[in-house]
A and B are shown apart, each in its own frame.
Chain A
C-alpha cells in the first residue's frame, strides 16, 4: 500500500472558491482595497453610462448605412458588383476543396465561414424588401445595401459550389498540390476579374473601401511571406554577396517608416519611370507594403531558423539532402512552426498598416471614411464613422489572431 502511494500523483490543492469568497479575498480584503474597489466601480459606471448614452441617444448612426456601399466597395461601379461575387464564389470553391483535402482545422474554419454566409442567406427577404420600399421612414437608399449583401443568387451559388466541391474532393489527397496551385492562381484571377479588360475596364482608381483594404492586405501577406523567408535564408547564407545584400536590404527597410516608403512609391518613383509608362497607384502601394513587411518577416523567420540546432542540418547533409531540400523539408517546417505567433503578429500589423495608404490618396477603408466626412451631409460625424471602421478592423484582426491560436494548438506549439 505504501509503495503505491509514492507513485500516486499528488494533486495541487483545490484553489477554486465560491464567487462570494473570491470577492471577499480579492476586492474587499482590507479597508483601503474596499475603498479602491468602490471608487473603481463608480468610475466604471460613469464611463459606461457616458458611452452608452452617446451610442444610443447622441450618435447619428445613419451615416453608416447611408454610406455602406462606399465603405464596402468605394467608387466601384454598383452595376459591376457581380465581378466581386465571382471572386467570392471562386474563393468559396477553393475553400470547399481545401476543406475536403486537408480536413482538420481547415475544415473547421471553412465551416465557420460558410455558416456566416448561410446566416446572411437566411435573413428574411421580406424584411429587406420592406426597408427598401419604404422611403418615408428612411432617407437613405437601402436598395444599395440589398444589392451588395443580398444578391442571393450569387451567395447561394457560392455556398452550393462550396458544398459540391467539398463532397467531390473528399479523401482525394492527391488533389492537394492542385488546390495550392489554385490558391496561388486566385490572385491574378481576382485582379483580372475585378479589373476587366477592353470596354468594361474598371481601373484600380475605382477600387475602394473594404474591398481595397482586403486586396492590399491579402496581396501583401501572400507576397511578403515567401520574400521574407528568402531574405532570412539569404541573411544566414555563407555566400558573402547574398548575405550582404539581404542584410543591407533588411536593415535599410527596417530603418525607414512605412509612410516614407509609401511616399517614395507614390511621389518619387513616378518621376524616375520614363514617359508614358505608368505603374498603377494601387500596385505601387502593394509593392511598398510587400517590401516593407518582407523585411520584418525575414527577421521573424530568422529568429525561428536560429532556434533549430545545427545538428539537424548536419544530419540532413549526412543522408545526402541538397541545400534546398534540407531547408524545405527539415529546417523551415520546424523554424516556421516556432515563430507562428510572430508571423501572425506581422500579418495583423500589415493588415492595419494598409490604412496608411489613405495618406497617399488611395480610398481604402480609412480613405473612404475621410471622404464621407467631406460630404456636407455627414460632416462632423467623425466619431461614428471611425468607430465603425475600427470595428471592421477589429473583426478581421481578431479573426486572424483567433485562427493563429487554433493553428498553434493544432500543431502543438509550445508543448512538444
Chain B
C-alpha cells in the first residue's frame, strides 16, 4: 500500500512539474484556432438581441454573429464556432485561462479593464450609453427636471455609480430605489412603484416593448455614460488581436462601401481598395495570417455591419443612433484597407 501511494505521488509530482513546460509554448491563438478547426467564443447566456439560444438550439444575436464572422474569416466557415455562455464574473477568467479564444459579451471598454485585467480590446461593435425611461404623463423632457424623482436601478452595477455621479454633479436631490433583479426592476416600474428607470439605452428600448403600454413611455435623449462594447482577446497576443480587430473593421468597411451579403459574390469593381478588401489584389489576408478571401467570407456568411444590426437589434426596437458609419454621422470608422 505504501509503495503504491509512493508511486502515485511520484506520478502526480512528475505531471505537475511537466505541465508548465508544455504550457509555455508561445503559439498565437490564431494558429491554435486554425489547428483546432474551431473557434471558441464566450457570449452572454441570454441577453435580448445580443446573445441567446434560439429554438433550434443554435446561438443567435448580435454578439454571436460577430463570433461567426471571426470563424468565417479564419476558417472560412461560419458554423465552425462553439459558443460558451458566461456570466459577468467568470468572463475574464475564461479569457485569461484560455478556455475561450475571444470574448464577445457586451463588455465595456474601460481603462482599468484594458490595463489591469490581462485582456486586450478590439474596436467596439456597439456604442451604448446609460439613459432614462419614464412615463410620458410626467411631462419631463430633460434630466434637470428629475429633481425629487424616485429612480429604479439594478444593484452593484456601474449604472448605479453613474446615476449617483450625474445627479450629484447636477446638484439634484433624488431617491434611488435599488433592485437586485432586472425583471423585478421593470415590473416595479410598470406597476408605478418608481417614477423613472435607468439603465443602458439598448436595454431600456428592449424592455419597453414588454411594458403594458409601451407607447406611454419615453426615453430621454440625454446619455450619461459611455458604454463602448466590443470583443476582447487575451493580453499580449497581438497577432490574434489584429485578426479580430480587422474582422470588425471589415464589417464597417463593407457597410461604408455598400457591400452586402447579396451583392458580394457578383460584385465587379475597379475601386482598388474594394479589390484589396475582396482579396482580388494585394495580400491583405496574408499580412493578417488569414486566407486571401477572409473579408469576402465574412460578408457572405453574416453580411456587413448594417445587416448584422438589422437582423438582430432592429427587431428589438433599437435605433441605429450613433452606431452608424462615420459617413452618416455615426461612430463606425473602418481603418483603410491598404
Chain A: residues with CB nearer than 8 A to chain B? 66-67, 69-70, 73-78, 140-141, 144, 203, 205-206, 208, 263, 266-267, 270-271, 273-278, 281, 358-363, 367-368, 370-376, 379-380, 382
Cβ distance A199 to chain B, nearest Cβ, rounded Å? 10
Q: Quick one: which of A70, A208, A277, A361 contacts B90, CB cutoff 8 A?
A: A361
Is A275's CB under 8 angstroms from B55's CB?
Answer: no
Q: List residues of chain B with CB within 8 A of the CB of A368.
A: 53
**Bound-state Cα–Cα, A33 to B47, Å:** 52
Which chain A positions have C-beta within 8 A of B22?
Answer: 275-277
Closest-CB distance, A65 to chain B (whole angstroms): 10
Find chain A residues with CB under 8 A from B50 CB.
374
Give the distance in Å from the alpha carbon of A109 to the alpha carbon of B22 in the complex. Answer: 51
Contact assessment for A69 and B55 in the assembled complex, using a CB-CB cutoff below 8 Å:
yes
Chain B residues lying within 8 Å of A380, measured Cβ to Cβ, are: 209-210
A-B contact list, 13 entries, CB within 8 Å: A75-B83, A144-B55, A205-B82, A266-B93, A274-B20, A274-B23, A278-B97, A367-B45, A371-B85, A374-B46, A374-B51, A376-B49, A380-B209
* Interface: B291 (CB within 8 A): no
Our pick among A77, A78, A371 for the contact of B53 (Cβ within 8 Å) is: A371
CA distance A281 to B45 in the complex (A): 15
Cβ contacts under 8 Å, B85 to chain A: 361-363, 367, 371
A376: contacting residue among B24, B48, B83, CB under 8 A: B48
B84 partner residues in chain A, CB cutoff 8 A: 205, 281, 361
Given A70-B55, A361-B87, A375-B60, CB of A370 within 8 Å of CB of B82: no
Q: Given A73-B57, A276-B98, do A372 and B52 touch, yes or no (CB 8 Å)?
A: yes
Q: What is the CA–CA distance of A179 and B49 in the complex, to the nearest angstrom?
A: 50
Residues on B with C-beta less than 8 A from A270 are 93-94, 97, 99
**Cβ of A374 and Cβ of B45 under 8 Å apart?**
yes
Give the complex CA separation of A271 and B96 in angstroms: 8
Nearest B residue to A202 via CB reads B82
Is B116 located at the chain interface by the 8 A CB criterion?
no
In the bound complex, residues from chain B placing their C-beta under 8 Å from that of A208 are 53
* B183 interfacial by beta-carbon distance below 8 Å: yes
**Would A266 and B82 count as touching, CB distance under 8 A?**
no
Can you list the 3 inter-chain pairs with the closest CB atoms, starting with the nearest? A275-B23, A374-B46, A374-B52
Contacts of B61 in A (CB 8 A): 374
B331 contacts chain A at the CB level, 8 A cutoff: no
Question: Would you call B136 an interface residue if the criterion is a C-beta within 8 Å of the partner chain's C-beta atoms?
Answer: no
CB of B56 within 8 A of CB of A69, answer: yes
